[in-house]
Amino acid sequence: MGAPNGSNGVNGHAAPEEHALGQDFTDLVIKSMGPKTSPRMREVMSSFIQHIHDFAREVHLTTDEWMLGVQMINAAGQMSTDKRNEGQLMCDVIGLESLVDAITYQEAVKSNKPLTASAILGPFWRSDTPTRPNGTTITFDTPSDGVVAFMSGQVTSADTGAPIAGAVVDVWQASTNGLYEQQDPAQQEHNLRGKFVTDAEGRYSFYCLRPTPYPVPGDGPAGQLLDLLDRHHWRPAHIHLIIEAEGFKAVTTQIFDSESKYLEDDSVFAVKDGLTVHFVPRENDPKAKFQLTYDISLATQKL
Amino acid sequence: MGAPNGSNGVNGHAAPEEHALGQDFTDLVIKSMGPKTSPRMREVMSSFIQHIHDFAREVHLTTDEWMLGVQMINAAGQMSTDKRNEGQLMCDVIGLESLVDAITYQEAVKSNKPLTASAILGPFWRSDTPTRPNGTTITFDTPSDGVVAFMSGQVTSADTGAPIAGAVVDVWQASTNGLYEQQDPAQQEHNLRGKFVTDAEGRYSFYCLRPTPYPVPGDGPAGQLLDLLDRHHWRPAHIHLIIEAEGFKAVTTQIFDSESKYLEDDSVFAVKDGLTVHFVPRENDPKAKFQLTYDISLATQKL
């Protein structure tokens, strides 16, 4: 038997552990990226790693706390499906989707790119929404607690003020039970969604539901996070819109009923100044109790 | 038909979007936490939200880039099981587990708490590992490319230098195919793991495999991330250890073969100064080609 040889120091206490806490360690992780990393990936991940490490150091994040976060992330993935994106919802409740939407919009304005990135549409937009005649309805299975409204407006050029004929107004909304048609077997296909093409005067119109608040799904880690943060789950009443016209920058937006609850504390922080709208009583129309006028001005797409 | 009434401004361009980019928006999200949020949750999430927002603003994160991250998080959850934690592995490749381990250790030293938080053990430790006699082996299905080593050492008190009798050295390692026994149907139960109790002189000893490098699983988003960062998937050769003794602070650690590849670029950043060990040739022992002496000094657990 050979004698013990080259005794290897002892335990691994303070010195190495403290080393890992510092900026040197973060630099090591960032510099581990290889030369074939794309410049944009390098920029994004360098900043992400720096901020995540700074966060962990700042709050002295413990292993148990970190593991709780890992478990919530794994749970989010496990309950996500074609019809539900829990990872997205977790980002929404910390305001991240709203923030990247704003950043993306700002970048697009700067670079003069069209604003039609599909991801900002959220999980409920559909690409195959039917075009419907102006003045018709998108509510086909109006629930007993549903209130019908008539929505109309004019699409004009921000530069000249001239009406834009042939602009497409793509609209979708949830029913009073908080579900979009593809989440709800009780609603018919394409209920509460439609595309409307503006006439020669740039006008569009349709009947829809006056929107109602609904809670985001609370049965997953996003709901768990809201509970841990002592926050409610509700979104204010809103309608989704995309407005597109040839030669103009498209706009993807949500409009919020000015009389809705939760305007000040939307659980996913989507309410922004200038996006609230006023429903007013509609007279002499048995088909609708309220009406909403929403005019849209589109910026010219510079080439 | 009522006349249009209360026209609601137009589009929702620059002003509201720019608003959402600033610190005001981040403050709004942080202040949304209710009064029943625990103080620690408030501290952790305030810092997390601040850093995630700062990151998004700093790199001008776009919706498409963010959605790619969401998809990777969801995919991590979808492939995680009892035997595999892909969310953990994604954190590991950005150095986060190593960092929170170090922070947790440092906090425990400060507060004089025991260092036995289960989460830092990683996914392959087992609570039901059998105790084995000193001088016996933990390698029962030694693969043809496996090299056996004899590992021994003395556990002493850091304060007095006195040997600690009855200390428990809990050891586990992967086989040469990179799999721990619970991942590998070809290995017998409890292969390559065991607990050894120190004798009156504080000594422990056993036969094991000289450890070999292996790649972390590459079939999920963690592997995808490593590829996007142009990094390899390999971990350097290592053995896991927990050393516990009554009246002393437990130590959970990994020791790394000083001759292994990937010491400088461990894909999960677990290598720290003072954790590398030297295997030397073993003479006159047909059962082992190498030996390793690893002495352990434990700090007194102050009450």
A295 secondary structure, DSSP code: B
Name A68's Cβ contacts closer than 8 Å, sequence gap at least 6: none
Q: Do B51 and A51 touch (CB under 8 A)?
A: yes
Averaged pLDDT for residues A144-156: 97
Query: What is the spatial distance between Cα B100 and Cα B92, in angstroms, rounded to a whole number?
Result: 10
Averaged pLDDT for residues A212-234: 92
Residue A43 reports pLDDT greater than 80 = yes
**CB proximity under 8 Å: B 64-93 to A:** 64-67, 70-71, 73-80, 85-88, 91
User: Is A227 in CB contact (< 8 Å) with chain B?
Assistant: no
- Contact at 8 Å (CB) between A242 and B45? no
Residue B16 reports pLDDT greater than 50 = no
Residue B288 reports pLDDT greater than 70 = yes
Q: Could you tell me how many CB contacts below 8 A there are between chain A and chain B? A: 385
**Residue limits of CATH 2.60.130.10 in chain B:** 114-298
Query: What is the spatial distance between Cα A104 and Cα B54, in angstroms, rounded to a whole number?
Result: 15
Q: What is the per-residue pLDDT for B83?
A: 72
Domain A93-298 classified CATH 3.40.1010.10? no
Residue A3 reports pLDDT greater than 70 = no
Residue A17 reports pLDDT greater than 70 = no
| Lowest model confidence (mean pLDDT) among A61-65, A105-109, A226-230, B294-298 | A105-109
Averaged pLDDT for residues A101-115: 68
- Contact at 8 Å (CB) between B215 and B234? yes
A72 Cα to chain B: minimum distance (Å): 9
Residue B226, φ and ψ in degrees, nearest 5: -55, -40
Query: What is the spatial distance between Cα B290 and Cα B281, in angstroms, rounded to a whole number?
Result: 4
Averaged pLDDT for residues B200-215: 97
Give B-chain residues touching A65 at CB under 8 angstroms.
Answer: 44, 100
Structure tokens at B128: 């039901």
Across chain B, mean pLDDT equals 87
Give A-chain residues touching B32 at CB under 8 angstroms.
Answer: 229, 231, 265, 269
Q: How far is CA A66 from CA A73, A216, B87, B105, B298, in A?
A: 11, 25, 11, 14, 26
B187 Cα to chain A: minimum distance (Å): 28
Q: What is the pLDDT of residues B155-179, one digit of tens each?
A: 999 889 999 999 999 999 999 999 9
Q: Do B15 and A273 touch (CB under 8 A)?
A: yes
**CB proximity under 8 Å: B 247-266 to A:** 251, 253, 255, 265
Long-range contacts of A25-28 (CB under 8 A, 24+ apart): A25/A53, A25/B95, A25/B98, A25/B99, A25/B102, A25/B269, A26/A50, A26/A53, A26/A54, A26/B95, A28/B95, A28/B269
B167 Cα to chain A: minimum distance (Å): 14
Averaged pLDDT for residues A206-230: 93
Q: Which residues pair with A251 in a beta bridge?
A: A243
Nearest residue to B133 via CA among B189, B181, B205: B205
Give A-chain residues touching B71 at CB under 8 angstroms.
Answer: 87
**Amino acid at site A35:** P
Residue B152: helix, strand or coil by DSSP?
Answer: strand
Q: Give the DSSP H/E element, type plus range, for residue A128.
A: none
**CB proximity under 8 Å: A 146-185 to B:** 152-153, 156, 158
Dihedral sign computed on CA atoms, order B66, B72, B77, B82: negative
Give which of B46, B64, B73 to mutate to test A binding, by max A Cβ within 10 Å.
B73
CB neighbours (10 Å) of residue A82?
7
Q: What is the pLDDT of residues B120-129, one digit of tens each?
A: 466 688 889 9
> Which class is B114-298 in CATH?
mainly beta
**Alpha-helix residue ranges (DSSP H) falling in A112-230:** 221-228
Q: What is the per-residue pLDDT for B117?
A: 33
Q: How far is CA B27 from CA A101, B14, B23, B69, in A?
A: 18, 20, 6, 24
Q: Do B272 and A17 touch (CB under 8 A)?
A: yes
Q: What is the pLDDT of residues B252-283, one digit of tens each?
A: 888 999 999 999 999 988 887 778 999 999 99
Q: What is the per-residue pLDDT for A108?
A: 67
Long-range contacts of B80-83 (CB under 8 A, 24+ apart): B80/A74, B80/A77, B80/A78, B83/B123, B83/B182, B83/B183
B53 Cα to chain A: minimum distance (Å): 7
Give A-chain residues touching B273 at CB under 8 angstroms.
Answer: 15-16, 19
Q: Name which of A34, A57, A282 is nearest B230 (Cβ-Cβ).
A: A34
Q: Do A109 and B14 touch (CB under 8 A)?
A: yes
Q: Name which of B2, B243, B285 is nearest A284 (Cβ-Cβ).
A: B2
